[in-house]
Every structure is written in structure tokens, then in C-alpha cells.
A and B are shown apart, each in its own frame.
Chain A
Amino acid sequence: MSTEARRQLRWTDWPVLLLAGLAGLLAILVVLYVTTKPGAPPQENAYAAFARDIDDVVLIGADGAPVRWGDLNGKPRLVFFGFTRCPEICPTTVAELSAAIEALGPDAADVEVAFISVDPARDTPDVLSAYFSSFGPRFNGYTGERAEIDRLVRAFRVFYEHVPTSGGDYTVNHTAITYLVTAEGEVVDIIGYDNPQDRTIAQVRAFLSSRGV
């Protein structure tokens, strides 16, 4: 008798409770979905604090003319800090970015690769101009006063140091990150040196297509 009563309870009350619970859960999920998915505020940008207050930094372009950082706004940019007397990281990065841009074709038509020299004394406009001559108009080298370069370096949280080698020469240790900078001058993503090329292409594609144009 008691088992019968328990079974009755199970067969009548439980499904009702269960259904009510499920319906409630569903309602909560729907509300959550509606309030967060469409038109919800974008994910917080981990690099939001990068590249702030540098619009007035004056660089020297490969044509020898001064250019303000703020003047580069208007185009999405891939920004890299390096030097032309760098045997490996810099040419490799330039080659990889070039290959990624080529792979993206028309999608990457208006992107600029901005190579900021951390060896501005030796990377003269002429040197930079020659260095990027075979990469097409999207690749631009920038040099300038060390103090101006250093303002960019700080704003991008870049590390660099000049290290003496033999014969009075020096080499430069430096951060090997590519920064993805929107046309408005905001850093939204970064590409590390060890990034696999297919991921680099995917990141640049996502970056270029997320600009709302």
C-alpha cells in the first residue's frame, strides 16, 4: 500500500514539478539569450589601454617626411617594432605578414603594415625605403627622433634595448609582437612570433572584417 502511494506521487506530481522547473529554466535562458546575444556590449578589449595619447607623436616616413601617428588613422594597421639590421625575427615577421596579406587578397586591400624602427639612428628613411621596396605600397617603415619612438614604445608596452657586440657595433633586443590597430587607432589583438601562419591569417581576417565596414 505504501509503495503504491509513493508510486502515485511519482507519476502525478513529479512530471508537473519537472515540467514547471524546465519551463522556468527555459524562460531564464531565453531572457539571458535575448539580453546578451544580439546588440550586447562587445567583449572587453584586453588591449584597450594600449596605444593611448600618441596621436601627436611625430615619426619620419620612408619618404623622409614627418608624419603624426594620428595621421595614420583611417586605415587598419599591423604594427611591428623592429630594425633592419635584424637577421631573423624582423625579416621573418615581414615575410609572414606579407604572405598573410597575400592570402587574404581583396579583404586586406586597405591594410597598412607599419614597421616602427627601434634603431632609428641607423634606419634612415633611405634604408627603410629600400628594405620594403619589394613588399608593395602597404608596407611602410617609420623612423624618427628616439624620444618620439620611445613614446610609441611605451604606449604599446614594447621592450627594446641596444646591446653592444664586438667592434663597437650593437644589436637590438626587442619585443616581437605584431599589434592589430584599428583605423581609429585602437589595439584590438596581437600576434606573437610563434603564431602558426594559418592562425595569423585567421586573426588578420577577423580583425579586418570586424571593423563594421
Chain B
Amino acid sequence: MFTQTIRVVAASFLLAALALAPESAAQQRVTTITIEDPWVATTNPGAAVAGGFVTLRNTGAQSDRLVSAESTRAARVELHEMNMDNDVMRMRQVQGIDVPAGGAATLRPGGLHIMFFDIDAQFQERQVVPVVLHFERAGDVRVDFIARPRPTPGAHNHEH
């Protein structure tokens, strides 16, 4: 499992100001988001879209929210949620994904995911797909998503 901890400072220009500010104010401006197992599913040849999955853990004291994402490998990246409703697969765009303080948001097959539209080329196994995640508090977080095949067929249904 790829785990990278990224300490994120809201905005670098704030640092100078914070250096002079009281310590409590400095702590409020800093969010700690832990990125666990960022991966994208390998795609079929010619497929224009791809799904990205990751666990976002918030070890900070304040809730945060993933509001958007972008990637150099896709023309457009959106946050989506899939669900099954009487054998009908439904997909909807979500405006953000909350990452509660001391909690986590899990993006995984069958639920929330990052949706890559019009990818530049097939996502092949072990490729790195660079993504920038935009958080409400944490700001921009650069994450390398690794391409791998979907879980063994049939395994998806054991998660819910």
C-alpha cells in the first residue's frame, strides 16, 4: 500500500504572516491530510474515462473538504458518486467530499470516486497519473495515483 503523508500549509504567502502571528492562529491554518493508497483503474484501449480511488485521512482538528481535482492526463476531472439502485447503475457528480476532523473519506469502487474525462492515453498498469487535489482548507495537494487493474473480478461485491 502506498502511503504518503503530506503536511499541507494553506497558502505559502500566509507563512510569513503566521511567523509573526500567535501560535494558535498558526495551528488553525495548517491541516494534515494523509493520502492512502491512491490508485486509478487501468483502462480498456480507447476508453476515454477512468476512475480514481484513494483514502483521505484528516489527522487535524478541523474538518476539511475535497472540492475538486485536476490532472495533466485528463481534459477534465470531476468528483462522482456511483450507486446501484435495483440493478440500475446511477452516477452523479458531487460538489465536494467531506473529510471530517480525525476521520477519513474513502473513495473506492462502487461509491465515491475521482472521475477522469478524456484521458490522453490508456492508463496502463504501474503508470503514474499525477493529480492535484484541491482541499477547502489544506489547499492543493499533489498526489501520484498509480494505475493498477481493478480488484479480482467478483471481489467488488464483498465490500458492501
Question: How far apart sit A200 and B50, CA to CA, in the bound complex (Å)?
Answer: 25
Interface 9-residue window, one of A48-56, A143-151, A159-167: A159-167
Contact digits for A84-115, partner B, Cβ 8 Å, 1 yes 0 no: 11111101101110011000000000000000
A193 within 8 A of B: yes
Contacting residues of chain B (30-52) with chain A, CB-CB under 8 angstroms: 41, 43-51
Chain B positions 77-100 with a Cβ under 8 Å from a chain A Cβ: 78, 80, 82, 84, 87-93
- Are A96 and B88 CB-contacts (below 8 A) given A84-B44, A130-B45? no
**B11-40 at interface with A (beta carbon < 8 Å):** none
Mark the stretch among A30-38, A69-77, A169-177 that contacts chain B.
A169-177
The CA of A86 and the CA of B80, in the complex, are separated in Å by 12
Which DSSP category, helix, strand, loop or mixed, fits chain A's interface? Answer: mixed
Asked whether any CB of chain A lies closer than 8 Å to the CB of B102, the reply is: no
B109 within 8 A of A: yes
User: Which segment of B59-67, B110-118, B129-137, B138-146 sits at the interface?
Assistant: B110-118
The answer to the question of B76 belonging to the interface, with a C-beta cut-off of 8 Å to chain A, is yes
Asked if residues A131 and B47 are in contact (CB atoms below 8 Å), the reply is yes
Q: Are B88 and A175 in contact (CB under 8 A)?
A: yes
B150 at the interface (CB under 8 A from A): yes
Number of interface residues of A (CB under 8 A): 42
Q: Count contacts between A and B, CB distance < 8 Å.
A: 105
Q: Tell me, in angstroms, the Cα distance from A126 to B46 when the chains sit together.
A: 9
A159:B78 contact, CB within 8 angstroms? no
A173 and B87 CA atoms in complex are apart in Å by 11
Given contacts A87-B49, A88-B109, A89-B82, contact A171 B44 (CB under 8 A): no
Given contacts A176-B84, A196-B154, A197-B153, contact A91 B91 (CB under 8 A): no
Give me the 8 closest cross-chain CB pairs, A-B, nearest first.
A197-B154, A130-B46, A87-B51, A96-B153, A89-B89, A194-B157, A173-B90, A176-B89
- Which residues of A are at the interface with B, using a C-beta cutoff of 8 A? 84-89, 91-92, 94-96, 99-100, 126-127, 129-134, 159, 163, 165-167, 169, 171-177, 192-198, 200
Q: Can you list 26 residue pairs at the A/B interface with Cβ under 8 Å?
A: A84-B46, A84-B49, A86-B89, A87-B51, A88-B51, A88-B110, A89-B89, A91-B47, A92-B109, A133-B45, A166-B93, A167-B76, A169-B76, A169-B117, A173-B88, A173-B91, A176-B87, A177-B87, A193-B87, A193-B89, A194-B84, A194-B157, A195-B154, A196-B157, A197-B154, A198-B154
